[in-house]
Structure 1
Amino acid sequence: MATKQNGSVIKSFEILGLITHERPEISASVVAEELALTQSTAHRFLTTLTSLGVLASYRRGAYCLGPRVEELGRMEQDTNPLSSVVRPVIRSASDDLNESVMACRFSTAGPICMAVAASHRPFNVDIKVGTILPLHSTAQGKIWLSAQPRKDRFARLGAYTLSKHTKTTLHSVEALHDELDAIRDQGFAVNRAENEPNLGAVAVPVRSVDYEVVLTISAFGMINRFDESFVETAVQRLQQAAQAISARFL
């Protein structure tokens, strides 16, 4: 018998999920409307989370993320056993490739950056830990989608908007499925300026002992450097990194 989940904890995290880069502050009215709560219940959740330091209020009736969240974020990076394995591996891969390398884990919202090793180039693409990447227009997202059976992909993409971020973004479901089949067969994915103009990436899966995709490792940088020769070199080096992570932790 499954353990019953705590509804108040779930609701608290749903409230935190309402805060985004586009909406850094929320109010009791926003919480009540979007989560179908009464004003009094929404206010009680907000004041409780504020008293714990999870939220902070610097303007009357407005709430943003509090210092406790930042503290927990730093602690997660310092103490997460998987992160401690991943960071030196991607640092080494970044140094070898002279490009930035990131590791992503998966969530229902899309791949989440869990660690980044920036290249030593004068200018780098700035990806922050915690950034959620689109599924259909990034190499990392395509790796995860390619590992799913076609029927599961259709179910997932049916509720997903294939936004056309650039002129090279695939926004046809059938065309995307064909590419995902090819990615599954070849074992890597390439992003050729599909999510951001002039930016490219190549990603490979990190698999568990059960052969499930649990992470991605990817190199990313300016698209003009991601020619076929570099992609081939990057795939080989990233696959070595993926194997090292699997051997040490998974």
Structure 2
Amino acid sequence: MSPDANTVNATRTSFRIIEVLKRLDGAGVTDVASELDIPKSTVHNHLQTLLEERYVVKAGDTYNVGLRFLELGEFTRNRMDIYETVRPEAETLAEKTGEMVNAAVEEHGQGVYITRHGGQQAVNVDTYAGKRVNLHCTALGKAILAELPEARVDEILDEHGMPERTEHTVTDPDELKAELETVREQGIAYDREERLPGLRCVAAPVVTDGVVAALSVSGPTTRIKGETFHEEIPELLLSAANVVEINMAYS
């Protein structure tokens, strides 16, 4: 996204510093300045301001992202009707499948996980509430993209591209759009090791009064295969998505 003429560079710098702290899992002034190629004095001033406002914490010479962001994130998530409605269905899906169940929404052209529930045999991967992922390489993302206008899909692909995450990632826009047509027809999207090697995922869109979300079940290729991959999990997802849509419509 290109900068707007009315944006404030100092604010942008503060947020870029926060992103560096997150990416490096904590850092000192010198490391942050090196990452962003800006003066150490500038970094120090921003970090001191963020520290005083309780948005970062400091241990020795190392700064890290503070829990103030958790407060803001929880506030944002809890005011979303879709979160409160989708959560019990995600929990039920996790119990029925034994696998990892996620729900996500689209924001600024990326998928954002809003809830995560693990069944008894779920494998731990890198998902967590608040994590952002590209939409083209996940079942959740493709389920969401399939419900968006084509012009919006083009905007998203232009802004974020289609980076190759694994050897199975679809990186051609025409191939992706052909797949999205199938998703629209069947109501089910698939991730065949396209974001993480060894992991398959199935997702269904949830469309409620302009809000587009998606529910997914993911697991290792050794378990998510055959009828489980193509019939059993899709049927459970379609049922769960339908329940969420009905509850949202009449709540």
> Normalising by the residue count of structure 2, what TM-score does the alignment of the two structures yield?
0.78
Whether the aligned pair in 1 keeps the contact of 2:109 and 2:156 (CA below 8 Å) is: no
CA–CA distance in 2 between the matches of 1:148 and 1:80?
Answer: 20
Could you say which residue in structure 2 is the equivalent of 1:215?
213
Could you say which residue in structure 1 is the equivalent of 2:112?
112
* Higher deviation after alignment, 77-86 or 175-184: 77-86
Could you say which residue in structure 1 is the equivalent of 2:173?
173
Structure 1 residues 44 and 248: alpha-carbon distance in aligned structure 2, compared to 1, 3 A threshold: farther
CA–CA distance in 1 between the matches of 2:23 and 2:34?
Answer: 20
SS of the equivalent of 2:222 reads helix
CA–CA distance in 1 between the matches of 2:204 and 2:128?
Answer: 20
Could you say which residue in structure 2 is the equivalent of 1:89?
89
CA–CA distance in 1 between the matches of 2:231 and 2:35?
Answer: 50
Structure 1 residues 150 and 68: alpha-carbon distance in aligned structure 2, compared to 1, 3 A threshold: closer
Could you say which residue in structure 1 is the equivalent of 2:123?
124
Amino acid at match of 1:51: E
SS of the equivalent of 1:166 reads coil
Structure 1 residues 51 and 118: alpha-carbon distance in aligned structure 2, compared to 1, 3 A threshold: same
* Higher deviation after alignment, 165-174 or 195-204: 165-174
Structure 1 residues 41 and 248: alpha-carbon distance in aligned structure 2, compared to 1, 3 A threshold: farther
Structure 1 residues 146 and 68: alpha-carbon distance in aligned structure 2, compared to 1, 3 A threshold: same
Deviation at 1:206, TM superposition (A): 0.9
Whether the aligned pair in 2 keeps the contact of 1:144 and 1:213 (CA below 8 Å) is: no
Superposed CA deviations along residues 163-198 of structure 1, whole A, max 9, x for unmatched, are 322222212222122112222222210011111111
Superposed CA deviations along residues 74-111 of structure 1, whole A, max 9, x for unmatched, are 56667765433322211112222232211112222521
CA–CA distance in 1 between the matches of 2:101 and 2:86?
Answer: 11
Number of residue pairs aligned between Structure 1 and Structure 2: 241
Structure 1 residues 172 and 40: alpha-carbon distance in aligned structure 2, compared to 1, 3 A threshold: same
Amino acid at match of 1:219: V
Gaps of 5+ in 2: 1-5
Gaps of 5+ in 1: none
User: CA RMSD for the aligned pairs?
Assistant: 3.3
> Normalising by the residue count of structure 1, what TM-score does the alignment of the two structures yield?
0.78
Superposed CA deviations along residues 185-237 of structure 1, whole A, max 9, x for unmatched, are 2221001111111110001111113xx35211001101233334223222222
